[in-house]
Each structure stands twice: as C-alpha cells, then as structure tokens.
C-alpha cells in the first residue's frame, strides 16, 4: 500500500536522513520525505501498514524532533 501524507520537517538534510532511516524499517518497500513540498510518502506492507507508519514517525522523530505527519 502506498499513501501520501502532509508532514513537517525543518531542512532538506534532515529529510534525507529521515527518509534513509525509514527505508530500513522491516516491511517498508519505499519512502520519500520531500522537504520542499512538506510531503511524506510511504509504501509498505498492506497487512501491517498502520503499525509501520507509527514506527516510521517514531523513527523520524528520533532524527528530527520536529518531524510530524498529519494522518
């Protein structure tokens, strides 16, 4: 399943770091964090999508405390 979300992230470098970390989560097929558009796209396992999304947001906040996703 692939879904797009509005997100808040402070800089392009942080967005790249968050994106790389989220891609390493088990069950994630692909992830994109677009600083300019303030968008977060997650492509993950359908059966565990909500669980993976929560883990992705938690992972993003470890790297960038201001990272947030509107669900």
Which phi and psi (to 5°) does residue 32 adopt? -135, 130
Q: How many structural domains comprise the chain?
A: 1
Range of the domain at 9: 2-70
7-55 pLDDT, tens digit each = 999 999 999 999 999 999 999 999 999 999 999 999 999 999 999 999 9
CATH of the domain at 17: 3.30.70.100
Rg (CA), the chain: 11
Task: Tell me how far CA of residue 70 lies from CA of 9, 26, 53, 54, in angstroms.
Answer: 12, 22, 11, 12
Whether the pLDDT of residue 71 is over 90: the answer is: no
| Chain centroid, CA 51 distance in Å | 13
Q: What is the pTM of this model?
A: 0.95
């Amino acid at each position: 399943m692939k879904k797009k979300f509005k997100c808040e992230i402070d800089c392009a470098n942080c967005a790249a770091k968050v994106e790389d970390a989220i891609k390493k989560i088990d069950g994630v097929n692909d992830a994109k964090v677009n600083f300019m558009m303030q968008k977060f796209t997650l492509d993950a396992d359908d059966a565990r999508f909500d669980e993976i999304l929560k883990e992705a947001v938690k992972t993003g906040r470890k790297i960038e405390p201001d990272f947030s996703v509107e669900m």
